[in-house]
Structure 1
Amino acid sequence: MTTTLDRTAPRDLAAEFPARLSLTPKTTLAGQLDGAWWPRSRDLAAELPPLAAALAEPWGRITRVTVSPTRWPVVPHTVAVDGRVLHVGWFTEQDPDKLILLSYSVGRWDLLVIPPETAPAAAARLMAAAAIPGSVLTAGVLMADEAGIVRGIRDAVRREATWESEGGACMSPFGTPMGRRAVPVHGSTWR
């Protein structure tokens, strides 16, 4: 079996840039997610070190990560992070849009994983939604909602283009449709 990595950024660039994160503020409200992560590629070995480094201060040392293999073409067993080993596991039962992070000293965190190919506007909406304290929305629900929003935007743009290509409608300055009779045409017998 041959595996092809779908990389949207070279491995060197993934390590060069900080992780794109949105974390839930510290509060007593427990929600389904603790924030969102928007990796630059689907290469876990390249993406996990910047993520672990970004979370070292607020959450402590991350020791284990679990993912669903559905979204990651290769799931390594371990990843080197700052001279230590980060253990990576996978579970087919785990939500494919979620990453679970574990630390011996601090606990567990669940992050929404935004696909690397996601448009910046959609990623911003997802990152904001995943960081709402006390939210009961799961990773799968957030991704399905975003897919509906994107579909709705595409449909609206397509309807507008169709409307315009068919001639549109005469509109009054107040935004109400006007019949053809209402349009004054000087020197014409059109009524």
Structure 2
Amino acid sequence: MTSNPLTADPVEAPRGALRLTVKPASALGGSVDGAWWPWSVDPVAEFPPLIAELAVDGDIRRVCYHLDSWGRTGRGLEVGEFVVWMEGFHATQPDTVTLIRADYTRVRLLVVPPGTPDDAAHAVLRSTATAGATETVEDILARNGLVAGTNPVHAAAAARERPLAADQHLWDARVRAALQRPVLGPTRFRGNNPAR
């Protein structure tokens, strides 16, 4: 569902419908351009309908999201006839996603956690469309009784990632050990080709 909360309250969406509010073009600005309430944290299921709704002729090229807020996905996601690059970062604000167009303009959305009660989620969708230029994601969530960064999915996602992180530390230790081994004999290189 895409609605303009300035004129109407969002209605109950059937399961799977897009629950999205985007500020009118005249009101764009501030910390976010709208709000999105996905059904799950599965990027493969959730991002294609969002991208299709916001794209103009396939102009969404990249999606930036917080790694601990979403499930795993590949680097590229096919949406229609286009491939959109999925870029997960730990430094990205957990309660947002940013869609980047071919002309490098950005659409930054506040993400309402999937398990949020209906009344609170609808309040966030409505208030995001009227948020001022100085209101932060934290301000919008707090005004509606939610705390930024407390998405219950964050803890579950972090727990899923721990085994991978432990493997990464083991691999890093092995690489460090290999790099610290002494090199036997002097090594001479000519140009860029060490085989000469």
Question: Given the two structures, how large is their TM-score scaled by the length of structure 2?
Answer: 0.61
Q: Provide the residue aligned with 1:122 in structure 2.
A: 120
Distance 2:103 2:97 in 1: 19
Distance (whole Å) between structure 1 residues aligned to residue 126 and residue 63 of structure 2: 23
In the alignment, which residue of structure 2 is the partner of 1:35? Answer: 34
* Residue aligning to 2:25: 26
Letter in 1 for 2:90: T
C-alpha distance in structure 2 between counterparts of 1:111 and 1:29, whole Å: 11
Equivalent position of 2:49 in the other structure: 50
SS at the partner of 2:25? coil
Tell me the CA shift for residue 148 of structure 1. Answer: 5.4
Larger Rg: 1
Using a 3 Å threshold, how does the CA distance of structure 1 residues 122 and 133 change in structure 2: closer, same or farther? closer
Conservation of the 8 A alpha-carbon contact between 2:97 and 2:108: yes
Looking at structure 1, the residues matched to 116 and 25 of structure 2 have their Cα atoms a distance apart, in angstroms, of 27
Pick from 65, 76, 79: which aligns with 1:78?
Answer: 76
Q: CA deviation at 1:122?
A: 0.6
Q: Match of 1:65? A: 63
Partners of 2:131 and 2:140 within 8 A in 1 = no
Unaligned 5+ segments in structure 1 are 1-15, 150-191
| Superposed CA offset, 1:138-188 (max 9, x none) | 223323443359xxxxxxxxxxxxxxxxxxxxxxxxxxxxxxxxxxxxxxx
Aligned to 2:5: none
Q: CA deviation at 1:76?
A: 3.0
Residue matched to 2:108: 110
Cα distance change on mapping 1:133 and 1:146 into 2, 3 Å: closer
Aligned residues: 133
Query: Structure 1 residues 34, 148: closer, same or farther in 2, change over 3 A?
Result: closer
Deviation for aligned residue 1:99: 0.4
Alignment of 1:163-178 (within 5 A): none
The letter for the 2-side match of 1:46 is: A
Distance 1:137 1:75 in 2: 31
Instruction: Tell me the CA shift for residue 93 of structure 1.
Output: 1.4
Equivalent in the alignment of 1:97? 95
- 2:55 counterpart SS class: helix
Residue 110 of structure 1 and its aligned partner are, at CA, apart by: 0.6
Contact 1:29 1:134 in 2 (8 A): no
Counterpart secondary structure, 2:94: coil
Q: 1:53 to 1:129 in 2, by over 3 A?
A: same
Specify whether residues 47 and 148 from structure 1 end up closer, same or farther in structure 2 by C-alpha distance, changes over 3 A only: closer
Whole-angstrom distance in 1 between the partners of 2:125 and 2:27: 20
Identity of aligned residues (%): 34
Deviations 1:105-129 (CA, angstroms, capped at 9, x unpaired): 3611110001111111111111112
Where do 1:153-164 residues align within 5 Å? none
In structure 1, what is the Cα distance between the partners aligned to 2:23 and 2:146?
Answer: 24
Q: Partners of 2:104 and 2:92 in 1: how far apart?
A: 21
